[in-house]
Structure 1
Amino acid sequence: MERWTTFPVLPAMAAPASSGTVSARGGAIHYASYGKGPPVILLHGGLSNSDYWANQLPFLARDHRVILIDSRGHGRSTRSALPYSYELMASDVIAVMDQLKLRKAAIVGWSDGAIIGLVLAIRNPERLTCVFAFAANMDPSGVNLDATEKPPFSTFVAQARKDYERLSPTPDKFDDFLAAIGKMWETEPNYSAADLGKIHVPVAIVDGDHDEAIKAAHTAYLARSIPGARLIWLKDASHFAMMQDPAGFNAALDAFLRGR
Structure 2
Amino acid sequence: MRAFLLSLVLAFVASSASAQPVPRWMTLPPTPTLPPAVSSGHAPVNGISIWYATFGSGPPVILLHGGLANSNYWGHQVPELAKTHRVIVMDSRGHGRSTRDERPYGYALMASDVLGLMDYLGVPQAAVVGWSDGAIIGLSMAMSHPQRVSRLFAFAANSDPGGVKDVDKSPVFRSFIARGEKEYEALSATPREYRKFVEEISTMWATQPNWTAADLGGINVRTWIVDADRDEAIKRQNTEFMAEAIPNAGLLLQPEVSHFSMLQAPQQFTDDVKRFLDRKWD
Name the TM tier (shorter chain).
over 0.9
**Of residues 105, 119, 124 in structure 1, which corresponds to 2:126?**
105
Pair 1:63-2:52 in alignment: no
The secondary structure found in structure 1 opposite 2:171 is coil
Q: Report the CA distance between 1:3 and its aligned residue.
A: 1.0
Structure 1: distance between partners of 2:227 and 2:141:
19
Q: Percent identity?
A: 52
Structure 1: distance between partners of 2:79 and 2:217:
34
2:162 aligned residue:
141
2:73 counterpart letter in structure 1: Y
Structure 1: distance between partners of 2:173 and 2:266:
18
Q: Report the CA distance between 1:147 and its aligned residue.
A: 1.3
1:10/1:55 contact within 8 Å kept: no
Give the 5 Å matches for 1:82-101: 82-101=103-122
Pair 1:159-2:156 in alignment: no
Q: Report the CA distance between 1:17 and its aligned residue.
A: 1.1
2:28/2:175 contact within 8 Å kept: yes
The secondary structure found in structure 1 opposite 2:108 is helix
2:231 counterpart letter in structure 1: D
Pair 1:23-2:38 in alignment: no
2:262 aligned residue:
242
Gaps of 5+ in 2: 1-21
Structure 2: distance between partners of 1:226 and 1:191:
11
Indicate the RMSD between aligned Cα atoms, in angstroms. Answer: 0.9
Q: Report the CA distance between 1:12 and its aligned residue.
A: 2.5
Higher alpha-carbon deviation: 15-24 or 53-62: 15-24
The secondary structure found in structure 1 opposite 2:40 is strand
Give the 5 Å matches for 1:224-239: 224-239=244-259
Q: Deviations over 1:172-230 (max 9, x none)?
A: 11111111111111110111110100001100000000000000111011100000000
Pair 1:189-2:244 in alignment: no
Structure 2: distance between partners of 1:64 and 1:251:
14
Give the 5 Å matches for 1:171-186: 171-186=191-206
Q: Report the CA distance between 1:148 and its aligned residue.
A: 3.2
**Of residues 66, 70, 81 in structure 2, which corresponds to 1:45?**
66
**Of residues 215, 232, 257 in structure 1, which corresponds to 2:235?**
215
Q: Report the CA distance between 1:24 and its aligned residue.
A: 2.4
Q: Deviations over 1:48-74 (max 9, x none)?
A: 000000110111011110000100000
Q: Deviations over 1:84-115 (max 9, x none)?
A: 10000000000000000001000000000000
The secondary structure found in structure 2 opposite 1:191 is coil
Q: Report the CA distance between 1:11 and its aligned residue.
A: 3.0
Aligned length: 259
Point out 4+ residue stretches in structure 1 off by more than 6 angstroms.
none
2:32/2:74 contact within 8 Å kept: no
Give the 5 Å matches for 1:70-85: 70-85=91-106
**Of residues 24, 27, 34 in structure 2, which corresponds to 1:3?**
24
1:204 aligned residue:
224
Q: Report the CA distance between 1:15 and its aligned residue.
A: 2.0
2:33 aligned residue:
12
2:111/2:140 contact within 8 Å kept: yes
| TM-score, normalising length: structure 1 | 0.98
Q: Report the CA distance between 1:25 and its aligned residue.
A: 2.6
1:25/1:80 contact within 8 Å kept: no
2:151 aligned residue:
130
Structure 2: distance between partners of 1:238 and 1:117:
20
The secondary structure found in structure 2 opposite 1:184 is helix
Gaps of 5+ in 1: none
2:176 counterpart letter in structure 1: F
Q: Which has the larger radius of gyration?
A: 2
2:46/2:116 contact within 8 Å kept: no
2:43 counterpart letter in structure 1: V
